[in-house]
Structure 1
Amino acid sequence: MSVDDRFTRSVREPDPEEQVGTRSEIITGPVGDWATDFSHLEPEWAADPYPILDGLRQRCPIAHTDRFGGGWLPTRYEDVAAIAYDTERFSSRSIVMSNFRPPRELAPVGGTPPISSDPPFHHDARKLLLPAFTKTAVSRREAAARAYCHSLIDAFEGRDVVDAAGEYAQHIPMRVISDMLGFPPEDGPRFRVFIENVLEGVNLPPEERMANFQELFDYLYVQIHDHLANPRDDLTTYLIDAELYGQKLQPEHVSGTMALLLIAGIDTTWSAIGASLWHLAKTPADRERLVAEPELLPTAMEEFLRAYAPVTMARLVKEDMTWHGVDMKADDWILLSFPSANRDPEQFDRADEVVIDREVNRHAAFGLGIHRCVGSHLARMELRVALEVWLERVPSFSLADPEAVRWATGQVRGPRTLPVRIG
């Protein structure tokens, strides 16, 4: 079978997230007790989840909800780590908590490999991506990323107030990832729509959510066919040509991995850059110190990642069991809150403070276990360059209107609107 034949069998393969769950479809609405009815989609969670998580960690370290068809929220570092490393009892076949549970038959591949893959397939699918995300490969993208950051700030000329999230943070990973995949850079606005649909649209009616996934994968297949007609040196062509177990990758593997890189590769870094700028805008002492001591930025950056970790990842319970004193049912969701793990005082000294010169910082912002972020080198480069250029060009800035800052809901949290005053 030729490469072309693989991608002409259908417009695209069905996406696992489109499988409608059979359990309760209650998702949003006021939370009476976060220990028994949590919801990461509520406005108070998006605005500031840390007091909620701190309270749960003290009185009910593994919270429960009947929403989403049933789920659990461990809040202590040790519990989050234990589940992240336990691939025997917890599956990664769906990593976005919603009313959609993919069929068990989809394991061990999942719909967006390797992040949705279970062992043993996960190891080999992840290994395919490693060459594109080494420190050496990432370093080759730094000059272009830095030039692009400067061009974004050039556009601020003559303005006193800018949106540091909407006009700066979001565009940097969009450009880097689109360059890596060989997508048209002008498609950036479409990427934002895809991201919001996948990560923030979990409460949409099933037919609307399905239509959103259809739109995303239709776009990806257009890009795949363009690369089949015009091969070039980028990650999309690499995936089309890659082999696993002596065979070319299946179409759903290629498109699923592209979807992962597009969605996760953009939103996580966008959120980290935005949260870091938010902190510096509201904390003049830290901002002034980093301007005066730029060599401290790599250390401060790790602290921003710890304190404002953007990602919470989902797992599914494989079989009925009692785990650490709670009775979990097969296909219950688990939300692995890396932000909560990073604020656990049993793991970190002064856990609720942002200490930009923190020396020991084994944070979990990039995850734990076999699914630790394959793109961590890339994300760190983008975050460092984005902050270096901003602090060089905009050394003095503050929140223009703290009440106007809007944070994303769902499993990737970062500022979506961040008005700052320059000077």
Structure 2
Amino acid sequence: MTVDDRFNQDFRERMRDRPQPTRNEIITGPVSDWATDFSHAEPEWAADPYRIQDDLRQRCPIAHTERFGGAWLPTRYEDIAAIAYDTEHFSSRAIIVSNVRPPREIAPVGSVPPISSDPPFHHDARKLLLPAFTKTAVAKQEQATRAFCHALIDELEGQEVIDAARDYAQHIPMRVIADMLGFPPEDGPKFREFVENALEGVNAPPDVRISRMEKLFNYLLAQIRDHVDNPRDDLTSYLINAELYGQKLESGHVAGTMSLLLIAGIDTTWSAIGASLWHLAKTPADRERLVTEPALLPTAMEELLRAYAPVTMARLVKDDMHWNGVDMKADDWILLSFPAANRDPEQFDRAGEVVIDREVNRHAAFGLGIHRCVGSHLARMELRVALEVWLERFPVFSLDDPSAVTWSASQVRGPRTLPLRIG
């Protein structure tokens, strides 16, 4: 069987066996009460989830909804951390809340390993990726990343108003991930489409979602074919040739990990860069301080990650149980809002404020537990370089029209339009 046949057959079998919704399919629509009917897919949540989360933390720290077939939303740091570390009662076989749950049979590998993997498989699948994301490996990419940021700004110079999300932030992780995977850099528009389909299209009918997944898979399959014919030193060739337990990785494992790196590697960093620029644009004192004290940027960056953490992950309840005062049912979703954890006043002093010289900052922006982001060093490098270059080239900027800023309505939150006035 050729590589092409192996990957095609595996994918078709996965799609054929994918379950259809059997529980409440309602996802979007007006929320009656965030404590009993929440939906993170609503525009109100996208615009300002912090007000909602702060309210829930006071009156209903573990909210519930019948949407998505049943889901829970803890808002206290201690509850979020407890679930993130508890692999006995909560499964990671699906990490994006939708109206479809993958069958239990796909555990412990999951569809996008290692983030969808449960122990003991998770440890070994994650270990395969670690060499590509060490501080040393990431440092080798900094020069090219910086040069690319300058090239982007070269194209933007002279414009009075720049959409910093569309014309700057999104392109940086697209180029970095394309280089790491050995994908054509000109395929950036396709990457954006894949990201939006996977993370912002959860309300689409299952057949539409499957069709979109097929489009992503067909792209990955074409890249795999090309790498088999033309091996090179990149992550795709590495995954194709990697072995686990003395055997080549299964085709679904290779494609799933590639899709994870492509989608998560782009959207999270794109969102973090955009949110940081949004904050500095609306907070002149912080912007001016970072321009005059550039050495403060690494500390400020951690605070921006804490305050505007982009990522919310999900888990599935393994079995019916009573947990911290609520009755959870098997296959209920758990929405792990790391942004909510980062703004818990029991965990952080002045939790609702952005303190760019905050010294003690053990935030959860990169997650908690065994699934803490394997690419955190890469994300930090991209964010730091993106901000350094922007502040160097555009030391004075502000929001052109605050009402024109839009945010993604998904489990990865960041600005999608961010018009900034330069000078």
| TM-score (structure 2 length as normaliser) | 0.98
Contact 1:21 1:100 in 2 (8 A): yes
Matched, 1:414 2:398: no
* AA matched with 1:351: A
Partner of 1:219: 219
Contact 1:309 1:365 in 2 (8 A): yes
Partner of 1:168: 168
The CA distance in 1 between the partners of 2:327 and 2:156, in whole Å, is 54
Instruction: Kindly provide the CA deviation profile for residues 229-273 of structure 1, in whole angstroms up to 9, marking residues without a partner as x.
Output: 000000000000000000000100000000000000000000000
CA-CA distance at 1:189 after TM superposition: 0.3
Contact 2:18 2:103 in 1 (8 A): no
Partner of 1:32: 32
The CA distance in 2 between the partners of 1:198 and 1:269, in whole Å, is 16
CA-CA distance at 1:21 after TM superposition: 2.6
The CA distance in 2 between the partners of 1:125 and 1:167, in whole Å, is 35
> Matched residues, percent identical?
79
Partner of 1:303: 303
In structure 2, the CA distance between the partners of 1:158 and 1:140, relative to structure 1 (3 Å rule), is same
The CA distance in 1 between the partners of 2:189 and 2:62, in whole Å, is 38
Structure 1 gaps of 5+ residues are none
The CA distance in 1 between the partners of 2:12 and 2:178, in whole Å, is 21
The CA distance in 1 between the partners of 2:153 and 2:277, in whole Å, is 14
The CA distance in 1 between the partners of 2:20 and 2:8, in whole Å, is 27
Contact 1:19 1:103 in 2 (8 A): yes
In structure 2, the CA distance between the partners of 1:331 and 1:265, relative to structure 1 (3 Å rule), is same
In structure 2, the CA distance between the partners of 1:264 and 1:351, relative to structure 1 (3 Å rule), is same
CA-CA distance at 1:415 after TM superposition: 0.1
Partner of 1:335: 335
* AA matched with 2:247: Q
Secondary structure at the residue paired with 2:14? coil
In the TM superposition, what are the counterparts of 1:139-288 in structure 2 within 5 Å? 139-288=139-288
Contact 1:16 1:103 in 2 (8 A): no
In structure 2, the CA distance between the partners of 1:15 and 1:286, relative to structure 1 (3 Å rule), is farther
Q: Would you say how many aligned residue pairs link Structure 1 and Structure 2?
A: 423
Secondary structure at the residue paired with 2:313? strand
CA-CA distance at 1:346 after TM superposition: 0.0
| TM-score (structure 1 length as normaliser) | 0.98
The CA distance in 2 between the partners of 1:236 and 1:32, in whole Å, is 46
CA-CA distance at 1:383 after TM superposition: 0.2
Contact 1:18 1:209 in 2 (8 A): no
- Root-mean-square deviation (CA, aligned residues, Å) is 1.3
Partner of 1:290: 290
CA-CA distance at 1:68 after TM superposition: 0.2
Partner of 2:45: 45
Contact 2:10 2:252 in 1 (8 A): no
The CA distance in 2 between the partners of 1:101 and 1:16, in whole Å, is 14
The CA distance in 1 between the partners of 2:286 and 2:308, in whole Å, is 15
* AA matched with 2:235: L
Secondary structure at the residue paired with 1:26? coil
* AA matched with 2:255: S
Instruction: Kindly provide the CA deviation profile for residues 40-71 of structure 1, in whole angstroms up to 9, marking residues without a partner as x.
Output: 01111000000000000000000000000000
Secondary structure at the residue paired with 1:378? helix
The CA distance in 2 between the partners of 1:418 and 1:41, in whole Å, is 20
* AA matched with 2:135: K
In structure 2, the CA distance between the partners of 1:255 and 1:159, relative to structure 1 (3 Å rule), is same
The CA distance in 2 between the partners of 1:67 and 1:225, in whole Å, is 40
* AA matched with 1:354: V
Contact 2:268 2:310 in 1 (8 A): yes
CA-CA distance at 1:100 after TM superposition: 1.0
In structure 2, the CA distance between the partners of 1:18 and 1:301, relative to structure 1 (3 Å rule), is farther
In structure 2, the CA distance between the partners of 1:15 and 1:85, relative to structure 1 (3 Å rule), is farther
* AA matched with 1:22: T
CA-CA distance at 1:18 after TM superposition: 4.8
In the TM superposition, what are the counterparts of 1:47-86 in structure 2 within 5 Å? 47-86=47-86
In the TM superposition, what are the counterparts of 1:108-123 in structure 2 within 5 Å? 108-123=108-123
Structure 2 gaps of 5+ residues are none
Instruction: Kindly provide the CA deviation profile for residues 208-238 of structure 1, in whole angstroms up to 9, marking residues without a partner as x.
Output: 1111111011110110011000000000000
CA-CA distance at 1:20 after TM superposition: 2.3
In structure 2, the CA distance between the partners of 1:11 and 1:91, relative to structure 1 (3 Å rule), is closer
* AA matched with 1:137: A
* AA matched with 1:235: L
Secondary structure at the residue paired with 1:364? coil
In structure 2, the CA distance between the partners of 1:176 and 1:18, relative to structure 1 (3 Å rule), is farther
Please identify, of 10-19 and 65-74, the stretch whose mean Cα deviation from structure 2 is larger.
10-19
CA-CA distance at 1:207 after TM superposition: 1.1
Secondary structure at the residue paired with 1:14? helix
Partner of 2:107: 107
CA-CA distance at 1:123 after TM superposition: 0.2
Matched, 1:375 2:375: yes
In structure 2, the CA distance between the partners of 1:32 and 1:155, relative to structure 1 (3 Å rule), is same
The CA distance in 1 between the partners of 2:47 and 2:65, in whole Å, is 20
Secondary structure at the residue paired with 1:309? coil
Instruction: Kindly provide the CA deviation profile for residues 320-370 of structure 1, in whole angstroms up to 9, marking residues without a partner as x.
Output: 000001000000000000000000000000000000000000000000000
In structure 2, the CA distance between the partners of 1:17 and 1:136, relative to structure 1 (3 Å rule), is farther
Contact 1:11 1:221 in 2 (8 A): no
The CA distance in 1 between the partners of 2:18 and 2:201, in whole Å, is 13
Partner of 1:361: 361
CA-CA distance at 1:7 after TM superposition: 3.9
Deviation >2 Å, runs of 4+:
1-21
Secondary structure at the residue paired with 1:188? helix
Contact 1:16 1:102 in 2 (8 A): no
CA-CA distance at 1:206 after TM superposition: 1.3
* AA matched with 1:277: L
Contact 2:11 2:252 in 1 (8 A): no
Secondary structure at the residue paired with 1:409? coil
The CA distance in 2 between the partners of 1:324 and 1:389, in whole Å, is 46
